[in-house]
Amino acid sequence: MVRASEFETIQRYFAPLSTNAAGAFGLSNDAAVWQPQKGHDAVITTDCMVAGVHFLADDPPSLIAGKLLAVNLSDIAAMGARPSAYTLAVAWPADIDDKWIEAFAKGLGEAQMGAGISLIGGDTVATPGPLTLSLTAFGEIPIGAALSRGGAQDGDDVYVTGTIGDAALGLKLRLGELSLDHGHDRDFLIGRYRLPQARSDFGRALPGVASAAIDISDGLLADLGHIAEQSGMDLEIQAADIPISASVQTCVDVDPALMALVFGGGDDYELAFSAPSEKAEQILTLADTTTTPVRRIGRVLNSSNVTPEVRLLDETGKAIVIDRPGFRHF
């Protein structure tokens, strides 16, 4: 297994990703210099991905890199901020060679170019395994404008972007727990699992429109539950209004039980948010200008419960019970 030394690896593969950030010093310093624009707050998020937990070890390294950046940019988008820079920490196991690292760095470069940001620092270490990746993203937003999970109000509408459930079914396909005859559906779903799309442009437009927001990482119902809890409000969600792709519909037509993964599967990295009903036209305009699919899926209600809840309803208004509303890390 051929792999360059730590400093050779940094200079060969990762220093080129920092050339547009003066405060990165070409990754030759122990730390970087970064500050948001005048009149802006800094928004900072960190996500860790581990082989066998958040991605499969045989996934293409370029797509693993793209996903690592996307899941962090999704957090930035959920707060309504613009991404600015990022740092990277990697623990390489012995079976990762220079060819793998080169492909990973290439994928990271393509992803950061699409986001208009640069690498400004980080760390690399060795590990007996598994491969562990940690990325910290920096964003900025006008002072006081950041969105949180705690602002939903009685009477607000609840929305989601994109389609839900693609990634969860894509993972089942990758694990051999689901089969599809149509190659297009299979490729689409696996692609959505391997490389989510951060809704950065749409997220940046939400301050002043949305009252609360979150990205869907652990599952739609679980993440909406965070909005309910932090806002002290109940959420009523219409199952029939949750947007699903044609590929998911194909799977559900064969096995209706797979809808449970739409509600709680996770890894979608779409945005879920609440907004006053009078913002409906503005939201549709934002969706159009950012070419982002958006669907209203429910409403926010005052809660009479000790613990606010998310109620999933069928077309008759009957509650749908989901045993596992989302992924738990512990």
In this structure, CATH architecture of domain 157-313: Alpha-Beta Complex (3.90)
3-state secondary structure of 322: coil
In one-letter notation, the amino acid at residue 120 is I
From 138, 102, 124, select the one nearest 17 (Cα to Cα). 102
Q: Digits of tens for pLDDT over the chain (330 positions)?
A: 566 777 888 888 899 889 988 899 998 888 999 999 999 999 999 999 999 888 898 999 999 999 999 999 999 999 999 999 999 999 999 999 999 999 999 999 999 999 999 999 999 999 998 999 999 999 999 999 999 999 999 999 999 999 999 999 999 999 999 988 778 999 999 999 999 999 999 999 999 999 999 999 999 999 999 999 999 999 999 999 999 999 999 999 999 999 999 999 889 999 999 999 999 999 999 999 999 999 999 999 998 778 899 999 999 999 988 777 655 554
Q: Where in the chain is the domain with CATH 3.90.650.10?
A: 157-313
Q: Of 3.30.1330.10, 3.40.50.450, 2.30.30.100, 2.120.10.30, which CATH number belongs to 6-142?
A: 3.30.1330.10
